[in-house]
Amino acid sequence: MAGSLPAAPVPINRLAEPLLKKLSASLDRAAPSRGWRDLAQLAGSQGRVKLSSRELEQCSLQVLEPEGSPSWSLLQLMGERGCTVLELTELLQTLEHTEALQCLNPPSIKVVVEPESQAVLSGRMVKLSCWAAGCPLLHYQWFKEEKAIPHGNFPELVLNQVSADDAGFYICRVNSDYSYEFSHWAQLDVCDIQGACHEDVNDFEMSDLEEQSTERQFAIDKVALLMGNMNYYNHPKLKAPLVDVYELTNLLRQLDFKVVSLLDLTEPEMRNAVNEFLLLLDKGVYGLLYYAGHGYENYGNSFMVPIDAPNPYRAANCLCVQNILKLMQEKDTGLNVFLLDMCRKRNEYDNTVLILDALKVTANIVFGYATCQGAEAFEIQQSGLANGIFVKFLKERLLEDKKITVLLDGVAEDMGRCHLTKGKQALEIRSSLSEKRALTDPIQQTVTSVESLARNLQWAKAHELPESMCLQFTCGVQIQLGFAAEFSNVLIVYTRIVKKPPEITVCKAYVTDFPLDLDVDPKEANKGTPEETGSYLLSKDLPKHCLYTRISSLQKLKEDLTFTVCLHYEYAGVDDVVDERKVVNIGKPLIAKLRIHQGYRKKSCFQNSFMPNGPGFAPPPGAVEAGYCPPHHNHQPHSYAGFPQASPAHPGSLQPARCHCSTTPNRLVAWPATWSYPSSSSQSNIPVETTDELESDFSGSLRLSHQQ
């Protein structure tokens, strides 16, 4: 709810450094009448801050520094003179500087845990909880009625030995430096035991027992590994994992998860990524693994298919989810959540059974399968971008403060109302959870352990971006380089010319000569918009009027990332084009620091025993059942380096329905294809695909495959 207790005014120079840098960059490159000089002039004319001509000249000279910014210097001076963020906002509104105003637009604060009303006996201890997300630094203040509670500055308000005087209404205000939000009111009723009859005392004791049984759970930490495989070498390409992984990453970060998000991994890269994920786990930590891509289920075990899996693939080419679960359990985690966004059909080409050690009997495992056993999963395509059906409904509920199984039940109900997939795809939930554990559970560390420090360092290594830099060329041209992360293994490099001498009439700059490991296509580099590079998700957050290059598969980087910045320019009256080049080394950005290209270091973690399987062979006792989808064979494979082009089994057969390459807007496509086989008497091993189309009131259609 809205409140009448505003947060204190904040001077400009107390803004976070990344926000100040973004704001300064916006002012530095602003059009005439909206730049930093115009801001200084307007502030002086309105009596906010007056700067001398010498101070303005000092700001101007910052352009001569390698990373100097006149706007940065101006904002620092204004902040030192007492100019607040609110006053700066009013000045930018007068200048109609939309981009700079967007920098100041505060992130919304969302209260994810509301305080609950309670009725207790006098003399008991009461705990009221309010937890919020949305900003990196939040401040809490509890109120009883309209009075602030002394020392009530924590997410939890603890009242020891309550009395009748403590009864009343409580509320918590959560604020950052520039916005705030109030929780719901919580009513506290306190019964004086001396004046209560026997029946009343029993009622209050029962109520107190219920409160104890639903006491809030805590996580020591929360970490998530999100993997999305799309660009398969030998199987149909997918689209949904791009958007699904990106959106889930942003939502989980709001819930204070340390998220590693990766696209398009080979088998050794997936295995080593899981190993690095296991290093982040420890006793009491919440671990979440989400996978989107091709998959299948055999004999109760789920298998995730890497992008380099052969055609056909078998268990030895894939990652077994139950094996990962066993390794997570060894870490004594507080909660293990698996969200598997893949098909679960049987792999007819795989007649092996994994001999797995029995899983621990624990009460902390939750599986959310995007579809039921033996069924397919689907995705929606709109204007070139795709959402999986599972994530389409999951993202609407992920921030809800509910037990994870209750939250997934709500997703299942939402999916059940989707007429396009009704009877085709239904969420399946499997759980051994006996406690009220939720993704919104707050993190509570009693002490800073060596394990937590190592975990924070390991996660930080995988998310370290290079510092922006300004390159000074001999001719006097200055070029600014900036960097942004789209995923943990996808980097956006953007460049712009920030200074050009007047005698230079034509000036162009571009980046080139990237390491061969990364396979950056020059035709898709140095584009005028992020979308042209294939980056559809970050465009609104990147600075405008730059050239953009998208660098994916950073996990393959073996050495430091070096590239060349080329400058082409012409002087007035001279026809010759002059070239200058500078080599830039930005180290190992993001996931490249973890060197997962080297393959998994602990092979024993994923080695399995295999044995031939007969039709009646049952999975070993203790194995937790999970998900599956078949390989895709009757399609024209794509050629990749190191993978020769093969001929399809049936040149005239239909394209697999699992393929997500259709560009038809609003098209819902099955994920992945299924196959029909001749009668058992034919003994043929050649699959024949059949495809039906189900009309919908979308402008496209739902393509489904079925077995004959």
Catalytic residue annotation: 294, 343
CA angle centred on 591, ends 586 and 593, rounded to 5°: 60
Q: What is the DSSP string of 450-484?
A: HHHHHHHHHHHHTTPPPPPEEEEPTTS-EEEEEEE
Residue 504, beta-bridge partner list: 571
Tokens of 26: 């916006």
Q: How far apart are CA 321 and CA 296, in angstroms?
A: 11
> Nearest to residue 294, comparing CAs of 652, 674, 687, 692?
674
Other CB atoms within a 10 A radius of the CB of residue 63 amount to 14
End-to-end CA distance of the chain: 56
Pairwise CA distance, residues 253 & 274, whole Å: 19
Please give the Cα distance from 680 to 368 (Å, whole number). Answer: 34
DSSP string, 333-393: -SEEEEEEES-----TT--EEEE-PPPP--S-EEEEESS-TT--EEEEEETTEEEEHHHHH
Count CA atoms closer than 13 A to 404's CA, side-chain side.
28
Burial status of residue 690 (CB atoms within 10 A of its CB: 0-12, 13-18, 19 or more): middle
Query: Is 297 strand, coil or helix?
Result: strand
| Beta strand 335-341 pairing with 365-369 | parallel
Q: Burial code of 378-388, b = ≥16 C-beta within 10 A, e = fewer? A: bbbbbeeebbb
What is the C-alpha to C-alpha distance for residues 45 and 23, in angstroms, rounded to an integer?
Answer: 22
Q: Crossing angle for the helix pair 53-60 and 36-45, nearest 10 degrees?
A: 160
Measured from the Cβ of residue 279, the count of other Cβ atoms closer than 10 Å reads 15
Q: If you write DSSP's letter for every residue of 205-218 in order, what string do you get?
A: HHHHHHHHHTPPP-
The first and second tokens of residue 690, run together, are 């059949």
Closest to 343 (Cα-Cα) out of 310, 390, 380: 390
The b/e string for 656-678 (b: 16+ C-beta within 10 A; e otherwise) is bbbbbebeeeebbbbbbbbbeee
CB atoms within 10 A of CB 161: 10
Separation of alpha carbons 405 and 686, rounded Å: 41
DSSP lists the bridge partners of residue 378 as 670
Strands 286-292 and 295-298: unpaired
Q: State the DSSP string of 135-149.
A: SSS-EEEEEETTEEP
Local structure of residue 34 (DSSP, 8 states): S
Residue length of the chain: 708
